[in-house]
Amino acid sequence: MVTEYNRAMLNRKVTYRLYPNVEQESRLQETLGLHQRLYNTALEERIRVYKETGKGLSFAEQCKVLTQWRKTVPALAGQNAQSEQVTLKRLHLAFQHFFRRVKNGETPGFPRFKNFHRYLGWGYKTHGDGWKLHPSQGASPGENGAAHGKLYLQGIGLVSIRGKARTAGTPVTCEIVHKAGKWYASVTLEMETVQRERGMGMGAFDWGLTEFMTIATPEGMEVVANPRHLKNQLAELKRLG
């Protein structure tokens, strides 16, 4: 076997299962609720500004508003600023998709307010800013063999995790997801290469009617007999019938 490398920089996702303790579970729920309320408040603000001025708010403008909100709302100030910007970005993308559908004559689907139980999670932009992956056994994040470990989340602490990256890489972004009562972290890894193993042998095959398949290789021909499953089971089928 030989190993082939793709030299392009690639991103891959690895999902970890989170195992928070009782206190961490409570903080995770509070953080989820905060991002849900931030999303809905930002949506309400966009609607209000449009009704009053006839113009929509851009993502950059809402980030400036967020800065002011963080000065007056302790709960927002206590959370990672970049993760709150990710929530605003998700709302911005929802509006972009809405305008694209309008332009294409499709059913628009105006962005909706999110119910807490239908709001799945939040995200982080930069590894080390509000979150950090700590694989077990002192290995580097994303290193082969670095299974499980802990995930640091600002305001929540070090949460035990289970999971393993199949290919070594550098953590870039993270999304926390709450689904069916369980918590998950979807971590994007940036890697220079993706390692794949493959064989060097060549061959061709041809499906047959009498025989199941004929395989041709540099070493010669090989015929695979037809298993004839139906014929071999006819007696048993008749007995059961």
Predicted pLDDT at 136: 78
Q: For residue 188, which of 9, 36, 24 has the smallest C-alpha distance?
A: 9
Check if the beta carbon of residue 181 is closer than 8 Å to that of residue 14: no
pTM above 0.85, yes or no: no
Coil, strand or helix at 169 = coil
Predicted pLDDT at 3: 39
22-53 and 59-72 are packed helices; what angle lies between their axes, rounded to 10 degrees? 120
Predicted pLDDT at 232: 72
Distance CA 28, CA 47 (A): 29
Going residue by residue through the chain (241 aa), what tens digit of pLDDT does each one get?
333 434 456 888 999 999 999 999 999 999 999 999 999 999 999 999 999 999 999 999 999 999 999 999 999 999 999 999 999 999 999 999 999 999 999 988 999 999 999 999 999 999 999 999 998 765 555 454 456 899 999 999 999 999 988 877 899 999 999 999 999 999 999 987 655 555 666 667 676 667 777 777 777 777 777 777 667 777 777 777 6
Q: How far apart are the first and last CA of the chain?
A: 50
**DSSP secondary structure letter of residue 113:** P
Instruction: List the beta bridge partners of residue 207.
Output: 213
Predicted pLDDT at 10: 83
Q: How crowded is residue 216: how many other Cβ atoms within 10 Å of its Cβ?
A: 13
Predicted pLDDT at 145: 44
Q: Check the CA dihedral 132-138-143-145 and report its sign.
A: negative
Coil, strand or helix at 218 = coil
Distance CA 130, CA 20 (A): 17
Distance CA 59, CA 174 (A): 20
Predicted pLDDT at 209: 66
Q: What does residue 208 show for φ and ψ, rounded to 5 degrees?
A: -120, 175
Six-digit token string for 230 = 């139906």
Ramachandran sector of residue 38 (left: φ over 0; alpha: ψ -120 to 50; beta: rest): alpha
Distance CA 231, CA 196 (A): 41
Distance CA 67, CA 70 (A): 5
Q: For residue 176, which of 22, 11, 29 has the smallest C-alpha distance?
A: 29
